[in-house]
Amino acid sequence: MMHLLINFTVLTLIVGIFSPVSAFAAKSNDIFYDLKSPHEQSVQFVRLSDGKVLYEISADRLLIPASVTKVVTAAAALTRWGPNHTFKTRFFYNGRRDEQTIHGDLIVVGNGDPFLVNELLWQWAADLRNMGIRSITGDIIIDNSLFDAEVRDDSRRFSVKSSSHAYDAPVSAFGLNFNTFAVAVAASGRPGSKAMINIDPYPLKSLDIQNRTNTARSGKPTIQVSRVSPNDDSSALVARGAIAVDQPIMKVYRSVRNTTKISGEILRSFLNRHDITVKGQVRNGHKPTQAKLLYTLEGYNMARIVAGLNKFSNNYIGDMLVKRLGAAFPASGTADASGQGTMENGVQVLKAFMQKDVGILDPFTLINGSGLDHDNRFNATQIVKVLTFMHKRFDLFPEFLVSLPTAGLDGTLAKRFNGNQAKSLDGMVRAKTGTLTEPVAASSLAGYLHHPKHGLVAFAILENGLKNKAHPTVADFRDRQDDALYKFLNQF
């Protein structure tokens, strides 16, 4: 009898050692405390040194990943282009150029760069002045033909054309500052007077600002800025509320409506500040075949672009990269510069990356690369496979890892944890967050953590509420996820 018992014990140990699911997997309460409201989970923690599953719950259950989808978009962009790839935006002119004047139009050919910002524009304008240019007699023509005309894909079902939220900015082949306005608000110095409201860094022609604010003696800022767009050709900003005299300058960001008009006027404003005048208007158009190259503006590299994507969960960058992938690569992954940037073409590139590069053969649903679509479906195993794939690519992994928010330090994890959690997790977790609130609460967290015993661990936590039922809030999910990470680091 004793001999039989010993054999049974040994057999049990052997089965436990070679089982693909650890003993912890069956005990969801080991690190996740119970939530009273009904919900779904898909969780997996994998030790990267040997691929051992350390913990999982329903790891193959397909759920809404929300912005954790950006992990896939960033990984695909780095894999297809490499971390040092840059997008080059080219400026042409038609007509005749003499020493100081271009007698014709300035034509900009958008190349899908998602990170064209003021710093680059300042240098562009300075370089044109240093080239001796002082006047352009024609128009500013914006050529957005690399992308299709759809500025917001169908997945943004809860937005409308007039949406002014910065996270819902429209997408165009040539867009500046993430297709948003930066509105600078500062106290005037005299209580009772209007606050100072300006477009940062320079005023824009034809953009009206209605200042209905005041400067208060004290108190927290109550400033609100709304964008009013009667039609596609005109916009106005309405500022309301108060800011106290002792408050620092603040910035409010709002999306643009007419990307062509505003991008062109931003270019004009930078040229004006460098004493270069443009006499014509801003309009859509195509580069004439006889146009001559004037200047090539090289943007930031892909490493910086994906950092902007992941650190702050920038939906504009996500959608821009997906469309640009569609223009550059067919689904087979071979370069094809003649393609057009559509969401559909770009999603096919992402799917090919998941299936052919990462080796994910089981079903998933991918509609949108920024994670705004509630029909996206991944499971924890699939997300961890992407993380594992990137970890194996030493040529890509350092930049990919750095792109993820760091607990307690930056991005969407800068203030996520608190108390004892913060002490244990600060700097030890680099992960992408994901949040949606409709039609159900969806909260996700996926990335890497450094464990004192197991070393580097890849993990994915996807949690969703259930339709037509009372479900946990996003805050409920986050609190439990934070507690689970703390327990994993300190108890495993």
User: Rg of the chain's alpha carbons, rounded to an integer?
Assistant: 26
Q: What stretch of H or E contains 300? A: strand 292-301
Is residue 280 packed enough to be buried (19+ CB in 10 Å), middle (13-18) or exposed (0-12)? middle
Is residue 264 pLDDT above 50, yes or no?
yes
Q: How confident is the model at residue 22 (pLDDT cuts 50, 70, 90)?
A: very low
Is residue 302 pLDDT above 50, yes or no?
yes
Q: What is the DSSP letter of 188?
A: -
Q: What is the distance between the alpha carbons of residues 477 and 99, in angstroms, rounded to a whole number?
A: 64
Peptide bond preceding 20: is omega within 30 degrees of 0, i.e. cis? no
User: Coil, strand, or helix at residue 47?
Assistant: strand
Mean pLDDT (the chain) is 89
Quick: pLDDT tens for 207-260.
Answer: 889 999 999 999 999 999 998 876 666 678 999 999 999 999 999 999 888 899
For residues 56, 74, 374, 362, the Cα torsion angle rounded to the nearest 10 degrees is -50
Q: What is the distance between the alpha carbons of residues 445 and 311, in angstroms, rounded to a whole number?
A: 13
Calculate mean pLDDT across residues 398-423: 93
Q: Note the pLDDT of residue 337.
A: 44
Q: What is the distance between the alpha carbons of residues 210 and 233, in angstroms, rounded to a whole number?
A: 18
Peptide bond preceding 201: is omega within 30 degrees of 0, i.e. cis? yes
Calculate mean pLDDT across residues 441-456: 97
Q: What is the distance between the alpha carbons of residues 156 and 159, in angstroms, rounded to a whole number?
A: 6
Angle separating helix axes 315-328 and 69-81, nearest 10 degrees: 40
Please report where in the chains the tokens 């209605």 appear, as a residue.
Answer: 210
Q: Note the pLDDT of residue 163.
A: 53
State CA 90 to chain mean position distance.
25
- State the pairing for strand pair 292-301/429-436: unpaired
φ/ψ bin of 257: left (φ > 0), alpha (ψ from -120 to 50), beta (otherwise) = alpha
Nearest-5° angle of CA 476, CA 478, CA 482?
120
- Both structure tokens of 318: 């996500």
272 neighbors 95 (Cβ within 8 angstroms): no
Q: How confident is the model at residue 21 (pLDDT cuts 50, 70, 90)?
A: very low
User: What single-letter amino acid sits at 335?
Assistant: A
Q: How confident is the model at residue 343 (pLDDT cuts 50, 70, 90)?
A: very high
Beta-carbon contacts of residue 15 (< 8 Å; ≥ 6 apart) = none
431 neighbors 405 (Cβ within 8 angstroms): yes
Q: Note the pLDDT of residue 145.
A: 95
Q: Note the pLDDT of residue 24.
A: 41
Q: Note the pLDDT of residue 160.
A: 45
Q: Note the pLDDT of residue 293.
A: 98
Quick: pLDDT tens for 44-65.
Answer: 999 999 999 999 999 999 999 9
Q: Note the pLDDT of residue 23.
A: 34
Q: How confident is the model at residue 331 (pLDDT cuts 50, 70, 90)?
A: low
Q: Note the pLDDT of residue 232.
A: 60
Q: What is the distance between the alpha carbons of residues 19 and 133, in angstroms, rounded to a whole number?
A: 71
Is residue 159 pLDDT above 70, yes or no?
no
Please report where in the chains the tokens 């702050």 appear, as a residue.
Answer: 312
Q: Note the pLDDT of residue 179.
A: 95
Please report where in the chains the tokens 């005048």 appear, as a residue.
Answer: 277
Calculate mean pLDDT across residues 406-413: 96
Of the listed ranges 151-160, 297-306, 421-430, 472-481, the least confidently predicted one is: 151-160
- Both structure tokens of 385: 């496979």
- Right CATH number for 21-83+303-491 from 3.90.1150.10, 3.40.710.10, 3.30.1330.20, 3.40.50.10860? 3.40.710.10
- Report percent pLDDT > 90 for the chain: 78
Q: How confident is the model at residue 68 (pLDDT cuts 50, 70, 90)?
A: very high
Q: What is the distance between the alpha carbons of residues 78 and 397, in angstroms, rounded to a whole number?
A: 9
pTM over 0.75: yes
Quick: pLDDT tens for 112-141.
Answer: 999 999 999 999 999 999 999 999 999 999
Q: Note the pLDDT of residue 230.
A: 61
End-to-end CA gap in the chain: 35
Which of 345, 306, 339 has the alpha carbon at shortest distance from 323?
Answer: 345
Please report where in the chains the tokens 């689904």 appear, as a residue.
Answer: 331
**Residue extents of the structural domains in the chain:** 21-83+303-491
Q: Note the pLDDT of residue 164.
A: 59
Q: What is the distance between the alpha carbons of residues 138 and 107, in angstroms, rounded to a whole number?
A: 10
User: Coil, strand, or helix at residue 331?
Assistant: coil
Q: How confident is the model at residue 11 (pLDDT cuts 50, 70, 90)?
A: very low
Helical residues (DSSP H) of 40-117, grouped into ranges: 69-81
Q: How confident is the model at residue 152 (pLDDT cuts 50, 70, 90)?
A: low
Which of 188, 189, 167 has the alpha carbon at shortest distance from 179?
Answer: 167
User: What single-letter amino acid sits at 405?
Assistant: P
Q: How many CB atoms lie within 10 A of CB 467?
A: 8
Which of 181, 144, 140 has the alpha carbon at shortest distance from 268?
Answer: 140
Calculate mean pLDDT across residues 8-32: 44
Quick: pLDDT tens for 357-379.
Answer: 999 999 999 999 999 999 999 99
